[in-house]
Amino acid sequence: MRHAIAPGTNDPSGFRLGDCSTQRNLSEAGRDQARAIGARLREADVVPYVVATSQWCRARDTAELLALGPPEEWPEINSFFAGRGDRAAQTEATLARIAALPDDAVALLVTHQVNITALTGIVPQSGEIIVTRRDGNALTVVGRLPPE
């Protein structure tokens, strides 16, 4: 899942991972969007084995507002936009972590556009969920859930 609506592009030049005041954050519309997506998933009886989140505040806040279980930080799904990380290494680490989950596990990863595009080839909207299935050490897209 791409984090909910956080207006703008990229983060300010003074970005610091542990300081939300230096980051691009969810708007009130983004907070409402995350709550609504969580409600839709609960109504559909989606129960994730893990709710994983990037360490960016907008992703972490989205994961918390979904209210589908306690978020678990996965640094490998941190954004690598604008040279902030390593696309290849993080994508490989993400696929390995997913592969280590139980076969029937539903994992909800709250991350960023660049990470989702690297994993699936899809450029998602804010709040969009790309549904995948594990195929060995790769992911196959089986559906898309728009944020509505």
Q: CA–CA separation, 80 vs 113, rounded Å?
A: 10
**Burial grade of 13 (CB within 10 A; 0-12, 13-18, 19 or more):** exposed
What confidence category does residue 117 fall into, taking pLDDT thresholds of 50, 70 and 90?
Answer: very high
Residue 136 has pLDDT above 90, yes or no: no
Q: What is the pTM of this model?
A: 0.95
Each residue's pLDDT tens digit, 21-80:
999 999 999 999 999 999 999 999 999 999 999 999 999 999 999 999 999 999 999 999
Distance of CA 115 to the CA centre of its chain: 8
Half-sphere exposure of 78 (CA within 13 A, CB side): 17
First-to-last C-alpha distance (Å) of the chain: 14
* Residue pair 4/33 in contact by the 8 Å Cβ criterion: yes
Q: Can you list the domains of the chain with their CATH numbers?
A: 20-145 (3.40.50.1240)
